[in-house]
């Protein structure tokens, strides 16, 4: 299964090579051509059965949040910064792996040595460091250098009744969905784009939006669910197991209502569960893609994810397969997305 391998590969923003190589290796037989642009985005094209065909873009980011080594102390410990948004408090008492070879741990001062007031404070990043067992700066430098990336060691597994657990499901799940869809040939021409540095502020997609041209773009993402524990309903974004989620608005995109409506129609007519993403926080590559050229009609379909941006995130197996199926149906019916009257126009008539 693509998702297991993708989840366990390391690809912190700026260091997506291993993920990109894995994707290339596994889509090579299913696409007409591919290329890697100058910032590291992977673009692959697959001609449709129709000629002329509708042009559809499918995109997902390859990068994940993680750590970046910024200093080696005189004792041989590694100081680091986070890449992408991570709550520093979740890093404590976790193992990491650097350069796919050197294990380290992020410890914290033992509870016995803490003053009572220390126990009540959350952690600051400058309190934390990685211990790789090196007994000196020299030994550490033989194994790690400034600018190396550290990732987490979580194994991808099935979880509970009908879930998957793993790291980097944001957004290897989106990558895996696109890889599965590339096994099919559609009437439309597909351009699939696997972007870099999304977690650093949609940086990879900034480049592709400079040359992208399409009739429809579908951003495949994961979205924080916030459905855990006895959380009040109004704080939920989406719920796991209730289907993929269609975005309404986020901090970079106001999704066009007629596209949302069409997506709901398709899901309903084929009996695919679909949720509307109730939150408006955060942003994704759609922010750049919907502004490409003269503007590309863009939707975001997300797999709900618990504990996003942690080392152990959880998605629903049925949401994952329903996401693949929904986008499959959208691609089979993509002509319905073309020349949709803008809702404002409808009102004027």
Partner 1 sequence: MTKPHLQLAQETIHLLAGKPGVSGYEYKLFPSLEQTFKPLVDDIYTDNMHNCYAVKNGYASNNQTVMLAAHSDEIGLMVTHIDSKGFIHFSPIGGIDDRTLLYQEVTVHGSRDLPGIISFQPDQTKSDKKKSVKLHQMAIDIGHSSEEAQSLVKPGDIVSINRATLDLLDQTIAGKSLDNRAGITVMAVCLSELNSIKHKHNVIAVTTVQEEVGLRGAQTSTEKLNPTIAVAIDVTHAQTIDAKNQVSIHLGKGPAITIGPNIHPTMHALLTACAQDNNLPYQVQAVAGPTGTDARIIQLSSFGIPTGLLSIPLRYMHTSVETVSLKDVVSCGKLLARFIAALPDDLEDISCS
Could you give the residue numbers annotated as active site?
A: 198
How big is the chain by its Cα radius of gyration, in Å?
21
CA distances from 36 to 43, 102, 189, 205, 326 (A): 6, 29, 19, 13, 28
Cα 302 from Cα 191, distance rounded (Å): 19
**Do 111 and 30 form a contact (C-beta atoms < 8 A)?**
no
Residue 339 near partner 1 by CB under 8 A? no
Stretch that binds partner 1, among 1-9, 136-144, 213-221, 255-263 (CB under 8 A): 136-144
The Cα–Cα gap between 146 and 144 comes to 7
Over the window 205 to 244, marking each residue x when it contacts partner 1 by CB under 8 A and - when it does not, the resulting string is ----------------------xxxxxx--x---------
List, in order, residues 6 or more apart from 21 with CB less than 8 Å away: none
- The tokens for 74 are 């005189």
H or E element in which residue 192 lies: strand 189-195
**What are residue 261's phi and psi, to 5 degrees?**
-60, -45
Q: Quick one: which segment of 129-137, 170-178, 183-191, 255-263 binds partner 1 (CB under 8 A)? A: 129-137
CB contact set of 181 (below 8 Å; sequence gap of 6+): 58, 324, 327, 328, 331
Please name every residue paired with 98 in a beta bridge, in sequence order, or none if there are none.
102, 150
Using alpha carbons, select from 175, 163, 196, 244 the residue that is nearest to residue 7. 175
User: CB under 8 A: which stretch of 153-161, 260-268, 285-293, 318-326 binds partner 1?
Assistant: 153-161
Nearer to partner 1, 257 or 273 (CB): 273
- The tokens for 272 are 């695919």
24-32, 260-268, 282-290, 310-318 -> range binding partner 1 (CB under 8 A): 310-318
Which of 33, 81, 100, 114: binder of partner 1 (CB under 8 A)?
A: 114
Q: In angstroms, what is the minimal distance from the CB of 331 to partner 1?
A: 31
Stretch that binds partner 1, among 34-42, 135-143, 249-257, 339-347 (CB under 8 A): 135-143
Specify the residue, 197 or 316, whose C-beta has the smaller distance to partner 1.
316
Residues 106, 181, 202, 214: which binds partner 1 (CB under 8 A)?
106
The answer to whether residues 108 and 88 touch, using CB atoms and an 8 Å cutoff, is no
Q: Least distance from C-beta 108 to partner 1, angstroms?
A: 6
Find the binding residues for partner 1 in span 253-292 (CB under 8 A). none
Residue showing tokens 């600018």: 147
CA–CA separation, 116 and 118 (whole Å): 5
> What is the SS3 assignment for 265?
helix
Binding mask 47-86 for partner 1 (x = CB under 8 A): --------------------------x-x-x---------
Question: Which of 103, 187, 242, 336 touches partner 1 by CB under 8 A?
Answer: 103
Q: Could you say which of 100, 133, 261, 346 contacts partner 1 (CB under 8 A)?
A: 133
Return residues touching partner 1 (CB under 8 A). 73, 75, 77, 87, 89-90, 92-95, 102-114, 119-123, 127, 129, 131-135, 139-140, 143, 153-154, 157, 159-163, 165, 227-232, 235, 306-307, 310-312, 314
């Amino acid at each position: 299964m693509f998702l297991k391998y993708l989840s366990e590969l390391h690809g912190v923003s700026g260091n997506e090579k291993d993920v990109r190589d894995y994707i290339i290796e596994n889509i090579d037989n299913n696409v007409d051509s591919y290329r890697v642009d100058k910032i590291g985005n992977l673009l692959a094209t697959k001609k449709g059965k129709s000629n002329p065909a509708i042009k559809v873009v499918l995109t997902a980011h390859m990068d994940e949040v993680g750590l970046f080594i910024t200093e080696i102390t005189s004792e041989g410990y590694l100081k680091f910064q986070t890449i992408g948004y991570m709550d520093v408090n979740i890093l404590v008492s976790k193992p990491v792996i650097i350069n796919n070879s050197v294990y380290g741990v992020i410890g914290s001062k033992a509870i016995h040595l803490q003053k009572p007031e220390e126990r009540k404070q959350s952690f600051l990043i400058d309190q934390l460091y990685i211990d790789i067992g090196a007994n000196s700066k020299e030994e550490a430098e033989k194994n790690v250098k400034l600018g190396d990336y550290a990732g987490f060691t979580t194994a991808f597994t099935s979880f509970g009744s009908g879930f998957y657990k793993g790291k980097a499901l944001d957004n290897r799940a989106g990558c895996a969905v696109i890889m599965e869809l590339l096994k099919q040939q559609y009437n439309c021409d597909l351009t699939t784009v696997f972007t870099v540095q999304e977690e650093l502020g949609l940086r990879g997609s900034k480049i592709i939006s400079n040359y992208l041209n399409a009739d429809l773009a579908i951003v495949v993402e994961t979205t924080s669910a916030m459905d855990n524990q006895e959380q009040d309903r109004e704080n939920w974004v989406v719920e796991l197991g209730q289907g993929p989620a269609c975005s309404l608005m986020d901090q970079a995109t106001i999704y066009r209502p007629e596209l949302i409506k069409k997506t709901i129609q398709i899901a309903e007519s084929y009996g695919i569960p679909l949720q509307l993403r109730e939150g408006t926080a955060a942003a994704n590559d759609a922010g750049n893609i919907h502004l490409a050229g003269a503007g590309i009609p863009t939707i975001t379909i997300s797999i709900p994810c618990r504990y996003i941006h942690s080392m152990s995130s959880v998605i629903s197996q049925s949401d994952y397969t329903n996401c693949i199926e929904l986008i499959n149906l959208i691609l089979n019916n993509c002509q319905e997305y073309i020349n949709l009257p803008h809702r404002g126009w409808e009102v004027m008539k």
